[in-house]
Structures are given as structure tokens and as C-alpha cells.
Amino acid sequence: MKLRKIGVLALTTTVTLGLVVLLLLASDPTGLMASQQNRARASTASAAPLAPNSIISSAISYQGQLLDSDGAPVDGTQAITFSLYTSATGGAALWAQSGDVQVEDGLFNVFLNVDTALFNGQPLWLGVHVAGDASEMLPRQPLLPAPYALSLRPGAVVKGSQDGSSVLGVFNTGNGPGGTFSSTHGPGVQAFSVNAPALLAESEHAPGVEGHSSGGAGVVGISENELGVYGESITGTAGFFTSTHATGVHGSTPSDAPAVVGENVGNGPGVEGSSENGTGVSGWAINGFGVAGFSDTDVGVYGESITNTGGFFTSTHGIGLHGSTSSGNPAVRGENRSSGPGVEGSSEDSSGVLGQSTNGFGVAGYSKNDVAIYGESITNTAAFFTSTLGVAVHAKTGANNTAILGENAYGVGVRGYSAGDQAGVAGYSVNGAGGSFDSSNGHALVTRKPSILQGPNPQQIALLRWYPAISTTHRFTVGSQPLGVAFDGANIWVANSFGNTVNVLRANDGAPVMTLTVSVGPELFAYDGAHMWVTRRDSDAVTALRASDGKAVMTPSVGTEPRGIAFDGSNIWVANSGDNTVSVLRASDGSHVITLSVGTAPRGIAFDGTNMWVANHDSSSVSVLRASDHTHVMTPTLVISPHAITFDGANMWITGPSNDALTVLRASDGQWVTTLTSPTVGIIPGYLAFDGANMWVSNEASRMVSIIRVSDFSLVKTLPTIGPPEGIAFDGANMWIADYTEGVVLKR
């Protein structure tokens, strides 16, 4: 078969392989359709003829003529497949319709139920394939528009001069929108006007203008002399803005006027914003208010969010949010029924949220699942609240979350001040914490003054006693040259390096529990919850002693000269000073997991909850290894030759015996914090232990222990010993110190 072109049509035809098809779309300038009308009616297409109203709504009528390879018309039923593509050749079909088509004297008529969504301005080509042919006919036929349909193509402009009506009107008498506009990266609708509203939309029962955006602003309004966006409603919301992931409303102005003004003289909100994951209403202003809300009888500004901030307000130099009311209602009220803050305020130089009230609350926050009021500040106070006669801040939550949470990158998260005899900050909670303190790089809570009134101070809470009140030191005899000391929750373990024994003492009274024989120089301990692991420096091995009865259950080999040892919750880590490695053993069975290379002569090792820190004595560095996958994280360099290392919850403390110094590194990033020397640290500082508030450092040559406050690195006091102090351990109430030459441990 072959193809013969007839007439000039909206959809042109060209020669293909084997078969000729002529498709007529929408118009018939040659009269061919009329001349073949009777024969077309006589034939029966695979798709039944549609009623006129159905043809307008969905289907497209196509007519054509089929000729065989000799040029003779084809008769009978033909199985034909029609397909649409976005290119002249290749590619996958966007749409296809197959069926039996009745052909009479070469002529046929079909109705194609094409998905109307495909006609969005993109170029389309029609492919035709007749059963029996080897392939689809080529070339494909391009679909061309009717002339006036060009005004609806992408990039088209409708232009005119109308005094009494709109240049373009879209009306819907049903329940749907008058028009829907969508854009992937730009505004869905962009309108400009000099003196009149750029965009005017009226609706009796639905929103006048509704904007949705996946990544940008739902509605953006810009005006030189008037409001950028103006919404008016008789009984509903004047303006409703929503966004899935970005800002529901963004208002910006370089003048002294509010970026967004919401007024309601009835009972509804002045401005209402809703967002699933982004900010419901966001306002920015250089010199004025980012958002100003006024209402006679209800909330001036109301923000609601499902999972994020109900309202977010920021200002470069002024107040991010100012709420004022002369009634007994809150000046600003934020509610969040899910997991985001009720009100969030941010400011670079001033208050993020400022609340003032004569008789009521300056700021009231309510949240079911998260923080009622959240304040954040870069360089200033996150939240500042004052009241003349009432409570400056009142926060209440019925859930298990914190009533007030303050976070600040460098300054105070929450600060309370009282000139009278009341508390500067008072916290109360039914089920959760009355006050919650957290810090990324420092300590969660630091007390500079004496204890809290009417109760024990934080140090008493942590230690169950007060150090200055106890001055008696108890001595308990152990083996020869005690070195390492450890606590297992009930007993104190002492490694006697020269006597090749381990003494186990009851922590509450020092009574002997058992004495264990461990060959070849036991040194330091690590407890895994069931076994006490001890390094044996001269035998290149470690031994696991069962804590319940002291039985040696396994003795795996490690590297050369094992020194420091630590437990990460799953594995035992051993620093091998002789071959510059760290051996990782599975605590459950002692099997070898991996051997890692570190610096020269590693000695001390400590775990910070995420990483293992290894003190490389001869390299003057620390190797930081991630415990979960054993990867190298960083290698901070030091000005000392490190020996022992301990974690205080925020910083790593490292002794340098040959330097008579102690260096503190920040655990979060390895940055240097301070280096302590005499008189804070004595001569040849060796081992360390943390008691929850102070770091205890054994100074061998000085024969005394330095007690250093971790909050400010000041020396609290020194504790003399008879012989050189070595290993040191805290049992939750007392500090135990090994006296090397005296063969005793001191309980202090």
C-alpha cells in the first residue's frame, strides 16, 4: 500500500511505508469531507460516533484514505493503531489507540479519545500502523493548531485596551476555581499594574485568590504606591495562603510601612497563614514591622502550621514581631497542634519576640506536642520578657516536653532577671523537666555561685555529697606497685603491676572481695558490664576477668606493648604502644575485629560516645577514630606529649607528663580549648578521672592530686599523697587513687 495526499488540512499527511493515511482535524477547506460524507457514514469505525457535546469535550475526529501498494483503494476491516509522540522519530508513545476500522473505497472515519492533558503546548506527532505492515508508517505526521488556538500556546500574549471590562476573563459558575495557574520554578501568576490592582479575583464562597507553590512563593504581590496584595471578604478569610514546603505568604517592603497588613473589623483573623512544612506567614522589613496585625475583637495575627512554624517573624534592626492589645487577651498568641513551635521569632540585633502587656500576658504560647515558645538569636538574647505587675513569662505544657526551651549559638539561651525577691527564671512541669539545659560544645549547666536555695546544688545532686564537708582519707592495702584503678558498679579493681595480681575491694567500705593472679604485669582496666578487661603490657595480650567471680574467661592476643584500653558499648579497644596500632576486639567473645594504624607510641584511649580518642605520645597528636565503622575522623596536634586521656561530657582532657602540662580539646571538632600548667597542674601529671563537676589529675613527682573545676578550669584544691599517685577512678560518691610506692589505694 501507499499514501496519497489530498487537500490542505490542519494535520498534514506524507508518504509512509506501504500505506497512505489522510487525517482531517477540525477543518475541511478542500470540501473533501463533504464529498465523502455519505460513504463515511456508511462505514463503521471501531470507535462509535460520538454525540456533538461529547466530541467537543474529549474525542477528536480523524478521516483518511487508504491505498494499496498499486494505488488502488482498500476495502474491508483493517486493524489500525494510532499513537502520539513528542518527536518526529524515535521515543516512546505518550498515547495509543488500537482497533478495527471499517474502510470503504479507501475512506475511513475514526474518533480518537486522546488524553486532553497532552495538548499543553508541546509538539506532537501522529504515528499510524496498519496490521500486516512491518512497521509504523514514516514519517510521522505533525499535529498543527488552528490559527486562533495559537493565543493559548506557552508564551502567548493576549493584549487589548478595555475600559469597562477585562482583557481576559475566566468565569466558573460551579464550585471549582475560575482559573488554575501552575509553575515549576517561577510564579504561578504574575500581574503588573500602575494604578489599579494588578490582579482582581472575586468569589462568593471560596477564596478570592489562592496560591500554591512547590518550591517558591504561592502568591507574590509588588506595588510601588499601594498594597502588594489586597484581599477582601464578607464572611470568609480575606486572604488565605498555603505552601507545601515553602513560605505561604512573603511580604517585603523597603519603606517604613508594614510588609503585610491584615485588618478585620469582624470576628475573624486579620491574617491567617497555613503551611504543611514551611512557614504559615513570614514577614521581613528593613525599618518597619515585618507583619502588623490589627483586630477589634479577635487575634491580630493568627498562624497555623501542621508540622512547622505557625508564624515566623524576622527583622534586621528592629523588632521581629510586635503585638499590642488594650484588652485582656494575649498580645500575641501562637498555637501549634503538631510538632512545631507555636511562635518563633528571629532577630540579628534586637529581640526575636517582644511581648508587652499592661494586665495580661505579654506573650502566651500553647503547644500540644512541642515547645510553646521558641526563641533564637545569633548574638543577643534569644527571648526577653518584662512585666510591670505580672509574670514576665508564663509557659505551660501538658505534654512531656519542656515548657520553655532556649537555644543560643554563642549567648544565653534563656535569661531571667528579677530585681525583687522572686526567682529570675522559674520552671514547673507535671511530667517533664521543669528546666532543661543542653549544650553542643560546652557543659549543660554551670553554677557560678553557691547552691540553689531550699535544695541541694547540682554538684551535690551529681556526687551525693559535698567535697569540702569530707576531709578524711581512707587507706586500703593492695599489692605491689598499684597502677590501674576501675569501678564495676559495686567493686573497685586495682591492678598491681609488679605483683602480677588484681585486688577487688567492696566500694562502700573497702573490704576485700578477692585477689586474682594475672601473669606478667597487669596495668589498666576497661569494664564492659560483665567482664573487667586488663592490659598485660609485657605479654602482648589482654585478659577478660568475669566480674562476678574473677575467673579469667579469655586472653586474646593484641599488638606489642598494650597500654590503654576502652569499651565502646560493643567492642574493646586496645592501644598498642610498641607497634603503633589499635586492636579492636569483640567484647562478647574476644575475637579480633580489626587492627588500625595510629600515631607513634599510642598510650591512653577514651570514648566520647561516638569516637575513640587515642593519645599518640611520641607523635604529639591524638587519633580520632569513629567507633561505628573504624574510619579516621581527624588527628589534632598538640604541644605536649600525650599520655592519658579522659572525656568530661564536652571536652577531652589529655595529660602531658614530660611537659608538666594538661591540654583540653573540644570533643565536637577537636579544637584546642586550653592548656593548663603549674600551679593548676603539678609535676609529671599522669592519670585523670571525672566526678561530674571536677577533673582529678594525679601528679606523680609532686605527689599530690589536682582537683580542677571543668566549667572554668580553675583549681579547686590539691590533695597530698605519700607516694606517687597513679591510676584514679570515681565510684559515684568517692574518688579512689592508687599510691604506687606505698602499695595502697586512697578513698577520698
Range from 18-22, 148-152, 284-288, 664-668 that averages highest in pLDDT: 664-668
Joined together, the cell numbers standing for residue 705 give: 592530686
CA distance 55 to 674: 83
**pLDDT tops 60 at residue 184:** yes
Average pLDDT in the 173-185 region?
68
* Summary mean pLDDT of the chain: 75
**pLDDT tops 80 at residue 702:** yes
**pLDDT tops 90 at residue 218:** no
Say what the pLDDT of residue 304 is: 65
Q: In what order do the strands lie in the sheet with 661-666?
A: 645-647, 651-656, 661-666, 672-676
**Picking from 81-95, 165-179, 197-211, 676-690, which range would have the lowest pLDDT averaged per residue?**
197-211
Strands 592-597 and 474-477: unpaired
Say what the pLDDT of residue 165 is: 67
Would you place residue 13 in the very low, low, confident or very high pLDDT band (cuts 50, 70, 90)? very low
Average pLDDT in the 612-630 region?
96
Average pLDDT in the 709-730 region?
94
Say what the pLDDT of residue 733 is: 85
**pLDDT tops 90 at residue 703:** yes
State the DSSP H helix or E strand holding residue 582, giving kind and residue range, or none if neither.
strand 581-586
Average pLDDT in the 285-312 region?
64
Return phi, psi of residue 403, to 5°. -65, -40
Decide if 484 contacts 524 (C-beta within 8 A).
Answer: yes
CB atoms within 10 A of CB 16: 23
Say what the pLDDT of residue 8 is: 32
Q: Which fold has domain 32-148?
A: Immunoglobulin-like (2.60.40)
Decide if 285 contacts 292 (C-beta within 8 A).
Answer: no
CA distance 2 to 536: 94
Residues 6+ apart with CB under 8 A from 448: none
Say what the pLDDT of residue 448 is: 47
Would you place residue 265 in the very low, low, confident or very high pLDDT band (cuts 50, 70, 90)? low
CA distance 80 to 70: 20
Q: What tens digit of pLDDT does each residue of 575-607 get? A: 999 999 999 999 999 999 999 999 999 999 999
CA distance 490 to 475: 18
CA geometry: angle at 487 spanning 484 and 492, to 5°? 75
**pLDDT tops 50 at residue 34:** no
Say what the pLDDT of residue 454 is: 40
Decide if 608 contacts 654 (C-beta within 8 A).
Answer: no
Q: What tens digit of pLDDT does each residue of 458-510 get? A: 444 444 443 443 456 789 999 999 999 999 989 999 999 888 999 999 998 89
CA distance 703 to 17: 103
Residues 6+ apart with CB under 8 A from 69: 1, 2, 18
Strands 282-285 and 312-315: parallel
For the chain, the 3-state helix, strand and coil shares in percent, each to the nearest 5, are: 5, 35, 60
111, β-bridge pairs:
61
Say what the pLDDT of residue 471 is: 53
Q: In what order do the strands lie in the sheet with 552-554?
A: 522-527, 531-536, 541-546, 552-554
Residues 6+ apart with CB under 8 A from 157: none
Decide if 648 contacts 668 (C-beta within 8 A).
Answer: no
Return phi, psi of residue 659, to 5°. -110, -5
Strands 125-130 and 76-85: antiparallel
Joined together, the cell numbers standing for residue 625 give: 577514630
**Residue 173 has what DSSP assignment?**
-
Q: Taking the domains of the chain in order of start, what are their residue ranges? A: 32-148, 244-408, 480-555
Joined together, the cell numbers standing for residue 49 give: 460516533
Decide if 692 contacts 459 (C-beta within 8 A).
Answer: yes
Decide if 331 contacts 362 (C-beta within 8 A).
Answer: yes
Average pLDDT in the 425-453 region?
56
Distances (CA, A) of 100 to 78, 81, 109, 110, 131: 5, 9, 11, 10, 10
Decide if 541 contacts 554 (C-beta within 8 A).
Answer: no
Joined together, the cell numbers standing for residue 526 give: 576497661
Say what the pLDDT of residue 264 is: 65
Decide if 189 contacts 182 (C-beta within 8 A).
Answer: no
CA distance 158 to 203: 24
Decide if 532 contacts 523 (C-beta within 8 A).
Answer: no
Decide if 695 contacts 452 (C-beta within 8 A).
Answer: no
Q: What tens digit of pLDDT does each residue of 310-346 get? A: 666 666 666 666 666 666 666 666 666 666 666 666 6
CA 505 to chain centre: 48
**pLDDT tops 90 at residue 535:** yes
Say what the pLDDT of residue 741 is: 92
Q: What tens digit of pLDDT does each residue of 382-409 get? A: 666 666 655 666 666 655 566 666 666 6
- 3-state SS assignment for residue 134: coil
Distances (CA, A) of 246 to 262, 345, 453: 21, 17, 48
Joined together, the cell numbers standing for residue 543 give: 585478659
Residues 6+ apart with CB under 8 A from 438: 407, 444
Joined together, the cell numbers standing for residue 25 give: 482535524
- 3-state SS assignment for residue 54: helix
Joined together, the cell numbers standing for residue 205 give: 464562597
672, β-bridge pairs:
665
Average pLDDT in the 421-444 region?
60
User: Which residue in this structure is represented by grid cell 493565543?
Assistant: 151
CATH of 480-555, one of 3.40.50.300, 2.40.50.40, 3.30.565.10, 2.40.10.480: 2.40.10.480
Decide if 361 contacts 389 (C-beta within 8 A).
Answer: no
Would you place residue 60 in the very low, low, confident or very high pLDDT band (cuts 50, 70, 90)? confident
CA 89 to chain centre: 46
CB atoms within 10 A of CB 592: 12
**pLDDT tops 90 at residue 118:** no
**pLDDT tops 90 at residue 62:** no
Average pLDDT in the 525-548 region?
93
Residue type, 587: A
Length of the chain: 748
Q: Is the pTM of this model over 0.75?
A: no
Say what the pLDDT of residue 15 is: 29
Decide if 377 contacts 344 (C-beta within 8 A).
Answer: no
Average pLDDT in the 288-298 region?
64
